[in-house]
Amino acid sequence: MTTTTQESTYQEWSERARASLMNTYGRYPLAIARSQGCRLYDTEGRAYVDLLAGIAVNSLGHCPERLTQALLEQTRHLDHISNLFFQEPQIRLAEKLLATCHADKVFLCNSGAEANEGAIKLARRYMRKVRGRDVHEIVTLEGSFHGRTLATLTATGQEGRIKEGFGPLPEGFRTTPFNDPKALQETVSDATAAVMIEVVQGEGGVRPLSREFLDVLLALRQRHGFLLIVDEVQTGLCRTGRFWAHQLFDLRPDIFTTAKALANGLPMGAVLATDEVARGFEPGTHATTFGGGPLVAAVACEVLDIMQEDRLAERAEQLGARAKKALLEVADRHPEQIRAVRVQGLMIGVELAFPGQEVWQALLDKGFILNLTQGCVLRLLPPLVIEEQDLLDFAKALEEVLDATAQ
């Protein structure tokens, strides 16, 4: 057997990584040297169709020239100065974000977990200091994913490695079954400070909340006076066919968070809130050194401009519909192997009826990068600029793999 350059580079890099990096990731068997547009290239130059986009991050594809230019331009005249000063790119970004939604104020940070941590802090402080109610309970849903800090992993409605060994976990978090209005009714009370949801659960297997569940949630919010937090870290910024996924259901969350695609790969997160709830923060109550720095803010401004100029929410909706049609046809021909196809814009989940590792590997061998969540859901979060043909080619490849698996 001959060893390819890709294999030997992969061996070398994985050994160096094992020796130098903490052992936190189960990595794919790939050594990636270059990324461009909707393709990743391994060290031998083999191209892969990127249907994962850095897990919903590179919505504009890889290395888009306008972002390179925006970053270069910004590095030439104002880099990091700290949040002790006013600086224009941060303000411009906040204004652009607010123009997309009902929120009135923004707090800029560096990641999804940090944004959710900020949202939890804001909800609790608002309840105590503004509403004068000593409540702190945060209710989240089973199957949710909210991050890896102590508070956000506690909020996450999944058990196992994510939580084991990290105790004591912070108090004041409760989870309730997914899409179960009756259970929600029994979980929330006057002690609830906020309910935090993903409108479509990402890590949970691309699962949308039902209108019925949301209606009950809104009625309970009215009755108990808790806040609604929507985690849009994965669903936000045009991915689901609207600028924000909560707009699919005409929700007006008191607080919502975002991150991933905001600066197309530079670390950035944001907490958005109504004016009323934003009163929960005052100088000295919450901060972060890097949040909204001029370099990332300049890039994020460009990202938002491009998303609007190129109408990427509409594009996500249209391409999602075409992908759904193609995948449902595959599912119709393979009813024993595909349990469900769930599509919301360019958030796509194909639930297999069996553990999906081999199918995932076979798709990778055919040149398609995606991920497997919950053990059996093939999850696609492609760049929003993906070509329709790439999605149709994926459906064809999936069919071939399923045919081969059935034999």
Q: How far is the CB of 60 from ligand PLP (least distance, A)?
A: 18
Q: In the set 43, 58, 59, 111, which binds ligand PLP (CB under 6 A)?
A: 111
113 binds ligand PLP (CB under 6 A): yes
Q: Residue 147 or residue 241: which is nearer to ligand PLP going by CB? A: 147
Q: In the set 42, 50, 137, 203, which binds ligand PLP (CB under 6 A)?
A: 203
Q: In the set 116, 176, 192, 258, which binds ligand PLP (CB under 6 A)?
A: 116
Residue nearest to ligand PLP (CB): 112
DSSP secondary structure string, 150-194?
Answer: HHHHHHSS--STTTTT-PSPPSSEEEE-TT-HHHHHHH--TTEEE
Task: Judge if the upstream peptide bond of residue 168 is cis by omega within 30 degrees of 0.
Answer: yes
Taking the CB of residue 164, how many other CB atoms lie within 10 A of it? Answer: 8
Q: In the set 74, 90, 234, 258, which binds ligand PLP (CB under 6 A)?
A: 234
146 binds ligand PLP (CB under 6 A): yes
DSSP secondary structure string, 7-59?
Answer: HHHHHHHHHHHHHHS-S-----S--EEEEEBTEEEETT--EEEESSHHHHT-T
Contact indicator for 316, 381 with CB cutoff of 8 Å: no
Q: In the set 233, 295, 300, 384, which binds ligand PLP (CB under 6 A)?
A: 233
| Distance between first and last Cα of the chain | 27
Q: Residue 266 or residue 326: which is nearer to ligand PLP going by CB? A: 266
Which amino acid is it at 95? E
Site stretch for ligand PLP (CB under 6 A), options 66-74, 112-120, 318-326, 360-368: 112-120
231 binds ligand PLP (CB under 6 A): yes
Question: Nearest to residue 234, comparing CAs of 109, 50, 56?
Answer: 56
Q: How far is the CB of 192 from ligand PLP (least distance, A)?
A: 20
Annotate each residue in 47-76 with x if it binds ligand PLP (CB under 6 A) or - if it does not, as one string: --------x---------------------
205 binds ligand PLP (CB under 6 A): no
379 binds ligand PLP (CB under 6 A): no
259 binds ligand PLP (CB under 6 A): yes
Residue with the two structure tokens 């803010």: 297
25 φ, ψ to 5°?
-120, 140
Burial of 78 (C-beta count, 10 Å sphere; 0-12/13-18/19+): middle
Question: Distance between CA 197 and CA 80 in Å, rounded?
Answer: 34
112 binds ligand PLP (CB under 6 A): yes
State the DSSP code for 347: E
Q: In the set 202, 236, 265, 345, which binds ligand PLP (CB under 6 A)?
A: 202
Q: Which residues bind ligand PLP (CB under 6 A)?
A: 55, 111-113, 116, 145-147, 198, 202-203, 231, 233-234, 259
